[in-house]
Amino acid sequence: MVQLMIACPMTGEPVFTGLYADDPTPPTASAAVGCPHCGDLHEWKRDEAWTEAGAAPAPAPA
Ligand SMILES: [Zn+2]
């Protein structure tokens, strides 16, 4: 499963949108996701998302 990711506009950190690239019903317009980095709700469009194909970003230090 290839995750659809967006960048948090506040921190620049990647945020998993909760959707997958091979989801049979991907959003056609926009969606919103709760951000684990800044705690805000980010609206995003499909054009802004990228697929996280295997290479996960370095996890943030705990
Ligand atoms: Zn955020």
pLDDT tens, position by position, 1-20: 888 899 999 999 999 998 88
Residues near ion ligand 1 (CB < 5 Å) are 8, 10, 35, 37-38
* Gap from CA of 20 to ligand 1 centroid (Å): 19
State mean pLDDT over 33-62. 81
Straight-line distance from the first to the last Cα atom of the chain, in angstroms, rounded to the nearest whole number: 26
* Gap from CA of 41 to ligand 1 centroid (Å): 7
pLDDT at residue 61 in the model:
66
Q: What are the CA-CA distances from residue 38 to residues 28, 58, 61 (Å)?
A: 25, 17, 15
By CB neighbour count within 10 A (0-12 exposed, 13-18 middle, 19+ buried), where does 1 fall? exposed
* Gap from CA of 25 to ligand 1 centroid (Å): 24
Q: Considering just the CA atoms, what is the radius of gyration of the chain in Å?
A: 11
Q: What percent of the chain has pLDDT over 70?
A: 74
In the chain, where the domains are located: 3-52
Average of per-residue pLDDT values in the chain: 82
State mean pLDDT over 28-53. 88
Which of 2, 15, 14 has its CA nearest to residue 52?
Answer: 2
* Gap from CA of 24 to ligand 1 centroid (Å): 26
pLDDT at residue 56 in the model:
53
pLDDT at residue 7 in the model:
95
